[in-house]
Structure 1
Amino acid sequence: MFEFFNSNLAELAWPFALVFAWLAGEFGHRWTGLPRISIYGLVGFLLANSQLGMLSHDGHSAILLLANIAFGLILFEFGYRINIRWLRNNPWIGLTGVLEAMLTFSAVYLVATWFGTPILTALLLAALTMSTSPAGLLRVINEQRSAGQVTERILHLAAINCVMGVFTFKVIVGFWVFQNTGSLLHASVNSLSVLVASVAMGALFGVLLPLILRQLGNLGQDATVAFAFAVILLVALTHAGKLSPILATLTFGLMARHRRITLSRTQRNFGALGDLLTVMLFVYAASTLEWQKILSGAGLGLALVAVRFAAKLSVTSLLAHVSGIQTRKGVMTGLALAPISVFVILTLEQTRYLGISFADELTALAAMTLLLEIVGPILTQRALIWAKEVPEQNGR
């Protein structure tokens, strides 16, 4: 009996870790009111191979694929909630998203270079930190059942800065590839062509699946399962083709919404499948962080967290009135844009899967990611409660 457990310890580590994280999240949320995903992240970090040594990343590609599927389901729902018409009717919202992303990029770059960071590393840090994690936002919003101006704005602002973040990151990676290989073709394949192909694949799924569902009829019953299968297939295809699952699934959700396929409120998070994969996603994301790198990059990491907050808060606050909300709600909007971790980790892991690794150069990002993996969702939760967009029973 003991020999069986000893010989299969590596295979049992992940299932036991996921069960433990789920239980910790449920009891922790019940006792403290903290977001479950913050607790999942803390458990994943503590159990990681570089900390307690339980969670190894052997079979890295398969684990990354599952994490991208989990993220893809969230991104599909995230994209589904973006209303392009709202952005057209109130262009100040779109302008706020562009300006806060640009100011974040500039501020992070200046601070990083002031700390003596090499230019290319500073550019990569700036590109990644301009974005907000859709996974963190959407899980907190759904968990709190929040609704209102701040809720909708953070979704739309995050969509804008994520697209800008992925685009900028891919361009910088393409420049890095060109510097190291001297091949313009290789560089372009790793940047703009990847972006275009990813968006095109997501748009194709967004057009074809609604057509298939209309032919089948009974959209309300079939849509959730069909979309879940489609997201899994789309992520697998982009993963195999070394494209961007983030852009593909986000585009898919956006297209599906505007093809008039409706998901009912009871189908949010893709039910039990979404909840299960969410535990795995946040445990996996935190388990990639190493304590030694966090310590070595802590000083710069904390400085970048501070400047990132300052940039986002200043833009959302200053443009709050002209965009149609009170300044106080503008402050809450900027505060709610705190989460970053899952987006950053999966973007870097996907890049590593392509054969390009920046792990040694981006130690400051590890410190930022750990802090915002745990604290970011809490700040989003508090901002939504303070904005009075959470039902009283959830805003204790």
Structure 2
Amino acid sequence: MLDTLAVALALAWPVAVALAWLLGELGQRWNIPRIASYALVGFLFAPTQLGSVAASGGPLGGLVANTAFGLILFEFGYRINLHWFRQNPWIAATGLLDVALSFLAVYALSRVMGAAVLTSLLLASIATATSPASLTRVVNDLRSSGQVTERALHLTAVNCLCAVFAFKFIVGFWTFDTAGDAVKALSNSAVVVLFSVGLGVAFGGGMPPVLRLVGRYQSDATVAFAIAVILLVALTHLLHLSALVATLAFGLVARHRRVTLSQAQRNFGVLGDLLIVFLFVYVGASADWRRAWAGLPLGAALVLVRAAAKVLAMSAFARASGTTLRKGMLTALAMMPLSTFVVLLLEDTRHVGIDLIDTVAPVAAATLLLQLLGPIATQQALRAAGEVQDPRPGKRRE
């Protein structure tokens, strides 16, 4: 009996990943984003549902998931052009308005529905963000390009950075309030963010000399950057820093140091495709239906209020920033995904000994809903904007 259980645990992850990949490919034929299928399989195989993939993954599973997320965040960061914000400051203003409205709306909702002040602050800081992993993956799968695509990517960069800073600050305040330890509070907030940024910048600045040394500065550097991201994520885990912030900073600096990446860099090839399946199965497996059900009223309301705040923010400065009201609203719809960012942000705090899962239980329902609906919303928004390319060269899907 024990041997059978051991075998079942050993096969849980391979079976879940294989099934997720199969359903992802089949679902794509019916315009269901692959990552939605991956997350659904992960949810079904979670310990509180049908299987035990999260339990059998252990700490190594979290490291692999963060590595996969790091690869996506590097690629995401590399696509962000900071000069765009300088040339069109209304885009930056739109991003900041999105953060402010989302934060205030979710905080007010949480307080009205009886949540404590700290819980409301944490929920509000999390809800300001869009998942860069989900957005980037859908964009890459659809080969999407255009005004809505670029605005969604750049505005996501703004709200993710603001969300991380706000969340870390609130966690630091919570640490000081509960433990009375100012040093620990500071180390859980500002120090983590600053050192994470510094580490990412150091990797970004150090890559050009390494690529010149090995003769790959102007050629395909997929393997070199993949290894660098893996090393960076491992270091952030060892030093209890934020892999999210470090890998995003790495990608931003790599772009602005003018390191040329070839087309093979997209998705990091087969390695990236495989890790993406694992990442979204892992994220889906983190959902507990009991916690999600308990927080469903607030979680569902949070999704609606967050969506309304984003639509209002994107519409307010749409014309001033050089786009139409319709494209502003489509940009808001494209920015619905949330789940991957939330799960791995909470994972970051767990590594420093702070478990906030129960404190922000209502977010479980929101992440579960947006694991499935968020990528679909992004896909439909990009299709409605006419920015999705047909797999056949020279064709476009409307």
- The verdict on a shared fold, with TM-score over 0.5 as the criterion, is yes
Distance in 2, matches of 1:362 and 1:391, equals 39
Residue 59 (structure 1) shift: 5.5
Which residue is equivalent to 2:202? 204
Paired residues of 1:61 and 1:353 also in contact (CA < 8 A): no
CA distance in 2, matches of 1:241, 1:136: 27
Distance 1:218 1:58 in 2: 39
Question: Hey, what's the Cα distance between the residues in 1 that align with 2:2 and 2:270?
Answer: 34
Distance of 2:47 and 2:218 partners within structure 1? 43
- Would you say the 8 A contact 1:101–1:164 is kept in 2? yes
Is 1:67–1:284's contact at 8 Å kept on the other side of the alignment?
yes
Separation in 1, partners of 2:186, 2:334: 35
Deviations 1:291-344 (A, max 9, x none): 111111000011111110000001101211000001100010011100000000
Q: Root-mean-square deviation (CA), in Å?
A: 1.4
Secondary structure of 1:116's partner? coil
SS of the aligned residue for 2:389 comes to coil
Contact 2:33–2:138, Cα closer than 8 Å, also in 1 = yes
Deviation at 1:184, TM superposition (A): 0.5
Partner of 1:20: 19
Separation of aligned partners in 2, 1:7 and 1:359 = 28
CA distance, structure 1, for counterparts of residue 227 and residue 279 of structure 2: 18
* 1:324-339 alignment, distance < 5 Å: 324-339=322-337
Aligned 8 A contact 1:129 1:308 in 2: yes
**Which position in structure 2 is the counterpart of 1:215?**
213
1:297 paired residue number: 295
Render the CA deviation track for 1:326-366: whole Å, top value 9, x for unaligned: 11000100111000000000011221222111122222100
Letter in 2 for 1:8: V
**What letter matches 2:117 in structure 1?**
I
Change over 3 Å in CA distance of 1:218–1:7 after alignment to 2: closer
Q: For 2:55, what is the secondary structure of its paired residue?
A: coil
Find the aligned partners of 2:253 and 2:67 in 1 and give their Cα distance: 18
SS of match in other structure, 1:261 = coil
Of stretches 135-144 and 3-12 in structure 1, the one that deviates more from structure 2 is 3-12
Unpaired runs of 5+ residues, structure 2, are none
- How far 1:58 sits from its partner (Å)? 4.3
Question: What displacement does 1:27 show?
Answer: 1.1
* SS of residue in 2 equivalent to 1:57: helix
Cα distance, 1:56 vs. partner?
A: 3.5
CA distance in 2, matches of 1:370, 1:71: 18
Aligned residues: 394
Q: Which residue of 1 aligns with 2:232?
A: 234
> Structure 1: any 5+ residue segments left out of the alignment?
none
Provide the residue aligned with 1:29 in structure 2: 28
Aligned counterparts of 2:41 and 2:382: Cα–Cα separation in 1: 25
Paired residue type of 2:324 = Q
Q: CA deviation at 1:220?
A: 4.2
Given that 1:69 and 1:231 are in contact with CA atoms closer than 8 Å, whether structure 2 keeps it comes out as yes
1:379 and 2:365 correspond? no
Q: Which residue of 2 aligns with 1:118?
A: 116
Q: Distance in 2 between matches of 1:392 and 1:80?
A: 24
C-alpha distance in 1 between matches for 2:300 and 2:334: 18
Name whichever of 216-225 and 264-273 sits farther off.
216-225
Question: Superposition pairs for residues 80-229 of structure 1, below 5 Å?
Answer: 80-229=78-227
Give structure 1 regions of 4+ aligned residues with deviation exceeding 3 angstroms: 2-7, 392-396
Q: TM-score, normalised by structure 1?
A: 0.97
Give the % identical residues.
53
1:315 aligned residue:
313
**SS of residue paired to 1:8:** helix
Give per-residue Cα distances to partners, 1:257-284, cap 9 Å, x unaligned.
0111111223200000000000000000
Aligned to 2:8: 9
Retained in 2: the 8 A contact 1:286–1:373?
yes
